[in-house]
Amino acid sequence: MTTPVHTGMAAELAMDLAHASLSLAQHFSDGATMWCIAPAFSPHAQHIAVEFVHPVVVGKRALPAVALTGPDLVGQTRMSTRAGDVVIACSAADDPDVLAVMRRADAWGVTSIWIGNGERPPIGAADHVLWLDDPDPMLATTGEFVLMYHLLWELTHVCFEHPGLLTATPAVCTEDVCITCSDEGRPAEVLATGSDGTACVRTAQGKEDVVTVLAGALFPGDLVLIHAGMVISKLKEG
């Protein structure tokens, strides 16, 4: 697969774009919807959605993408996403709404893509980080971000031209103890709590009822780790 590289684009960023595009193509092929958020620059969210829904190149497929704007972006994203979807955000690394969404992505079962500039998010903050190191706070108002998601769109369609790439390689357990299969510390978000020491939580597998006696007081929206049907710890927001 040939990757078009913008003049001056770092090789690491070009590789990140290629990986994110392949992941997007695979998820779209599996029926995913992409949800776009940009709290400080909502036109970016709308522009991304338009790029994917209304391709300007004849013969390219329209892809399901929706811009979420307005207040309570965390609540909107929570209600809109389903397991297997993708959330893409344009923001600085310290945007509280985007941080909250990215922290919950694993619990919701969605893949996360984060576009931004300046100080980088913590390692592992999103599945794919497409970042410009220029700290200029006005960079998001220039064409650099637009170029980023235009390339993301183009490379996603390049992947569609190679059907063999569209099926993700399944995970294979080769160890005596598999962390995933043994249900060790799965992330979840609390949906509701009961008076009997239980709670209903959302995980990548769907809604589950779990025991909370080890975790202390919990409230809707809290992030927790669950194991064997029990909350084993509460995750801090910071």
Examine residue 174 and state whether it is found in any structural domain, yes or no. Answer: no
Of 96 and 238, the one with more pLDDT:
96
Range of the domain at 206: 186-235
Distance, in Å, from the CA atom of 188 to the CA atom of 224, rounded to the nearest integer, reads: 5
Global pTM? 0.88
Q: What helix, strand, coil percent values describe the chain, rounded to 5?
A: 30, 25, 45
Whole-number pLDDT of residue 174:
54
Examine residue 70 and state whether it is found in any structural domain, yes or no. Answer: yes
119 and 211 inside one domain? no
Q: Render pLDDT for 29-62 as a digit per residue (tens, 0 to 9).
A: 999 999 999 999 999 999 999 999 987 777 788 9
List the Cα angle 39/84/163 in 5-degree steps: 110
Distance, in Å, from the CA atom of 134 to the CA atom of 132, rounded to the nearest integer, reads: 6
Mean local confidence (pLDDT), 113-139:
94
Q: Render pLDDT for 144-171 as a digit per residue (tens, 0 to 9).
A: 899 999 999 999 999 998 888 888 666 5
69 and 145 inside one domain? yes
List the Cα angle 107/218/216 in 5-degree steps: 120
